Amino acid sequence: MARPLDWQLATVAGVHDETDAVRSFSLTLPAWTGHRPGQHVDLRLTSEDGYSVERSYSIASEPERAPEVDITVERIPDGEVSPFLHDVVVPGDRLEVRGPIGGYFVWEASQPGPLLLVGGGSGVVPLMAMIRHRARAGAMNPTRLLLSSRGPGEIIYREELDRLSATQDGFQVAHTLTREQPPGWSGYARRIDEAMLSEVLDPLGREARVYICGPTALVESAANALVRIGLAPSQIRTERFGPTGT
- pLDDT tens readout for residues 205-244: 999 999 999 999 999 999 999 999 999 999 999 998 754 4
Domain edge (last residue) among 66, 101, 136: 101
Residues 166 and 58 in one domain: no
CA of 34: how far to CAs of 72, 183, 233, in Å? 18, 43, 29
DSSP state of 122: G
Residues 142 and 227 in one domain: yes
Residues 178 and 75 in one domain: no
Residues 76 and 155 in one domain: no
Paired sense of beta strands 171-177 and 143-149, if any: parallel
Average pLDDT over residues 179-192: 95
Residues 153 and 230 in one domain: yes
> 3-class DSSP state for residue 151?
coil
Domain hosting 134: range is 115-241
Which CATH number does the domain housing residue 54 bear? Answer: 2.40.30.10
Residue 193 lies in a domain: yes
Residue 246 lies in a domain: no
pLDDT tens for 24-63 read 999 999 999 999 999 999 999 998 888 899 999 999 999 9
Residues 201 and 124 in one domain: yes
The predicted structure's pLDDT at residue 1: 55
Closest CA to 157 of 181, 177, 185, 128: 128
Which CATH number does the domain housing residue 199 bear? Answer: 3.40.50.80
Residue 110 lies in a domain: no
Residues 120 and 228 in one domain: yes
15: left (phi over 0), alpha (psi -120 to 50) or beta: beta
Domain edge (last residue) among 44, 71, 101: 101
Residue 204 lies in a domain: yes
Position 2 pLDDT exceeds 80: no
Residue 107 lies in a domain: no
pLDDT tens for 115-149 read 999 999 999 999 999 999 999 999 999 999 999 99
Residue 196 lies in a domain: yes
Q: Where are the beta strands (DSSP E) in the chain?
A: 8-17, 22-28, 40-46, 52-58, 68-74, 94-101, 115-120, 143-149, 171-177, 209-215, 236-241
The predicted structure's pLDDT at residue 244: 40
Residues 91 and 152 in one domain: no
Mean pLDDT across the chain, nearest whole number? 94
Residue 29 lies in a domain: yes
- Distance separating alpha carbons of residues 159 and 167, to the nearest angstrom: 13
Residues 125 and 151 in one domain: yes
Residues 76 and 142 in one domain: no
Position 245 pLDDT exceeds 50: no
Residues 87 and 120 in one domain: no
- Distance separating alpha carbons of residues 51 and 180, to the nearest angstrom: 40
Domain edge (last residue) among 101, 135, 152: 101
Residue 43 lies in a domain: yes
Q: How many residues does the chain have?
A: 246
Domains: count for the chain:
2
Residues 164 and 199 in one domain: yes
The predicted structure's pLDDT at residue 241: 77
Cα end-to-end distance, the chain, whole Å? 31
